[in-house]
Amino acid sequence: DRLGTFEPKIVPKRQLIITDELEGTILSMYAMGVSTRALGDYVQKMNAK
């Protein structure tokens, strides 16, 4: 956001490496044929928690 108030919950700011668990989940979902759009939706929902 423009004011810089957004705090991501899954991957903290300036962290380049996501957790092994999240990476494994995303790769598994992709391997099962889940679209990249659906993967993006999943990550957004996880970030909202």
DSSP string of 1-48, one letter each residue: -TTS----SSS-TT--PPPHHHHHHHHHHHHTT--HHHHHHHHHHHHH
Angle of the 20-31 helix axis to the 36-48 helix axis, nearest 10: 150
Number of domain units in the chain: 1
| Domain boundaries, position 6 | 1-49
Rounded to whole angstroms, what are the CA distances from 6 to 36, 41, 44, 46? 23, 18, 13, 15
pLDDT, the chain, mean: 80
Predicted structure pTM score: 0.53
The confidence band for 29, taking pLDDT boundaries of 50, 70 and 90, is very high
